[in-house]
Amino acid sequence: MGTKIKGVRAICTAPEGINLLVVKVETDEPGLYGLGCATFAYRHLAVKTVIEEYLDPLLKGREVDRIEDLWQLMHQNGYWRNGPIANNAISGVDMALWDIKGKMAGMPLYQLFGGKCREGIPVYRHADGRNLEELCENIERFQDMGITHIRCQCGGYGGESYGTVPQTAPRGAQPGVYLDEQEYLHDTVVLFAGIREKLGYKIQLVHDVHERVSPMTALRLARALEPYELFFLEDPVSIEETNWLRRLREQTDIPIALGELFNHPCEWKTLIAQNLIDYIRVHISQIGGITPARKLQIFAEQYGVKTAWHGPGDMSPLAHAANIHIDLAAPNFGVQEWSGIEPPNYVIQELSGLKGALLEVFPGLPEFKDGYVYANEQPGLGVTINEKEAAKYPCSSPVTVWTQTRRRDGALQTP
């Protein structure tokens, strides 16, 4: 008789003011449990319901070492499959089962994936600014920290702040984050020309379109950015318009990264197999956790597509750790997005007190040092949770406004 699942529960916490959802899988072996990330920050209560009302009774009494079988069971049990709410719920359990597997083996998770291909993980950070000068100052600050890859934006993703309605909009237009894509195209090209003029070509630059423009504008933007040698252009088109990638491929040699909104293998299989993208950018809890992410990484390797997993602030440290463990063992690793989880010296010197709270809630975070992130070598994912500290930072459910992006005529645009 193997070790069995005693119970599955969700822990909601927001130590940085962003809703995080962690799954704890407890076993019938005293002291043995696993943690995983199920964070869907904007629908966390729906995910929590799936975990506690459906997955907990489904999984109780089942053996913890049957990870693949349990993943398939959770995936198929609701009949309709591959949505973000169900996938995130499955992810939390899946990561926790891998965490348990590592603890039972007495090994950090990357060892179960075949061991290290590299010692540390190079990461990229986000630099923003109100203008070119402020942006370049922020880039240089990251360079001083050893960061060699930097994503550059000016004024977020190019839109105005929520609540404004431009004078050019029709009477009665709804509030939102308004974007003029022609203005955005021009300003972005001027911005990257300025960065290269000031800082040269030794640093690797990334830009995120965030699906916020039409495919034709994305094509024009990609061609215009070619002289500035971007490491990659992220999400130039939406997942509904990936048929445009072939045309983009034919007309520009700029590297393309895509995938943070992907849920289903059918969304990436053709893009990878036909070499229409260079970097796969999925949010691993969004596709169901470590089990499908490893399959995707291995599939992408066969076609020369590299990984650049999504690593924003709206995912828990468990998911950041999962990214790092997969990265360490992946021959086709490209670069890792890193949202700024630093060791205490950076927290004290540069970041808000909320980052300190994150460290109190989640002991064992991967370590950032001189441009690289390192796993902490503890068994499993290596990250724990202090539930008493987590309870100090309750989640909230406000109406999400940053996704309410609109074109100049007031019509909604994918965010």
Tokens of 59: 């999984």
> Among positive and negative, which fits the CA dihedral 165, 260, 275, 272?
negative
Helix (H) or strand (E) holding 177: strand 177-178
Measured CA to CA in angstroms, residue 253 lies from 176, 230, 273, 342 at distances of 34, 10, 18, 35
Q: How many CB atoms lie within 10 A of CB 251?
A: 12
Residue 325 annotated to the active site: no
Nearest partner of 211 among 173, 257, 251, 274, judged by Cα: 257
Residue 210 annotated to the active site: yes
Bridge partners, 24 (sequence order): 9, 35
Q: CB under 8 Å to 206, separation ≥6 — which residues?
A: 124, 149, 150, 151, 152, 230, 231, 232, 233, 234, 257
Name the region of 238 (left: φ>0; alpha: ψ -120 to 50; beta: rest). Answer: beta
Using an 8 Å Cβ cutoff, are 8 and 2 in contact? no
Using an 8 Å Cβ cutoff, are 231 and 206 in contact? yes
Q: What is the dihedral of CA 161, 165, 169, 170, to 10 degrees?
A: 150
Q: How far apart are CA 266 and CA 128, in angstroms?
A: 34
SS3 410: coil
Using an 8 Å Cβ cutoff, are 299 and 275 in contact? no
> Among positive and negative, which fits the CA dihedral 402, 407, 411, 415?
negative
Q: How far apart are CA 354 and CA 146, in angstroms?
A: 23
Using an 8 Å Cβ cutoff, are 63 and 104 in contact? no
**Angle ∠(265,268,271) on CA atoms, nearest 5:** 150
- In degrees rounded to 5, what are phi and psi of residue 389? -70, -40
Of 33, 124, 157, 393, catalytic: 157
Of 126, 149, 207, 210, catalytic: 210
Nearest partner of 150 among 186, 183, 195, judged by Cα: 195
Q: Which residues are catalytic?
A: 157, 210
